[in-house]
Every structure is written in C-alpha cells, then in structure tokens.
Amino acid sequence: MKCKVYPYKGKLNTDIIVPSETNSKDLPLEIQKGISSSKEWKEIDINPDQPLIGLDPQEALKNIEDSGFHIQVVETKIEEKVK
C-alpha cells in the first residue's frame, strides 16, 4: 500500500501515516490538526511481508484499515559503551 507520511505537529519523533489517496479533510479533526503541513514528508510503500526500519508493517496496515491512519512514534536509543 502506498502511503504518505506527515510529521505530527508538536510531537517529537512522531509521524502520521495515511494511504496516498486519502484527503486530509476525511481524517478525524484531531489528526487533521496534527498534520504539520499540507505537504507530506515522504511517501512509502508498506508491504505486510516486508519489514521496514522502525515500523511494523502489519500493525500499520491494520491501524490504517481500522482507522484510516497510523501514528508512528520513532524511538531513539543512545547507549554509551564503557571501556
């Protein structure tokens, strides 16, 4: 499934993923307000059998099917190696 990825306004490391053909006016008002620009950040192709870095494709596709969107929080871990 081809999807648009938008940065979520005011939420660090959080994106909103919607099918490419989705009109933002068809999304819930809370999600519309969270889209930080009318331009998508990037477009991705989500395939349930192809893992993506930081994204569970099966979970994302289920959320899109159920709600019309998926909210993705990117977690960053920094570990310090002690010698």
| 2-73: CATH architecture | Roll (3.10)
pLDDT value, residue 65: 96
pLDDT value, residue 40: 60
Per residue, the 3-state secondary structure of the chain, as one string, reads: CEEEEEEECCCCCEEEEEECCCCHHHCCHHHHHHECCCCCCEEEECCCCCCECCECHHHHHHHHHHHCCEEEECCCCCCCCCC
User: What digits encode the pLDDT tens for the residues 24-62?
Assistant: 888 898 888 888 666 667 899 999 999 888 899 999 999
pLDDT value, residue 38: 60
pLDDT value, residue 58: 95
User: What digits encode the pLDDT tens for the residues 13-27?
Assistant: 889 999 999 888 888
pLDDT value, residue 75: 77
Q: Mean pLDDT for the chain?
A: 87
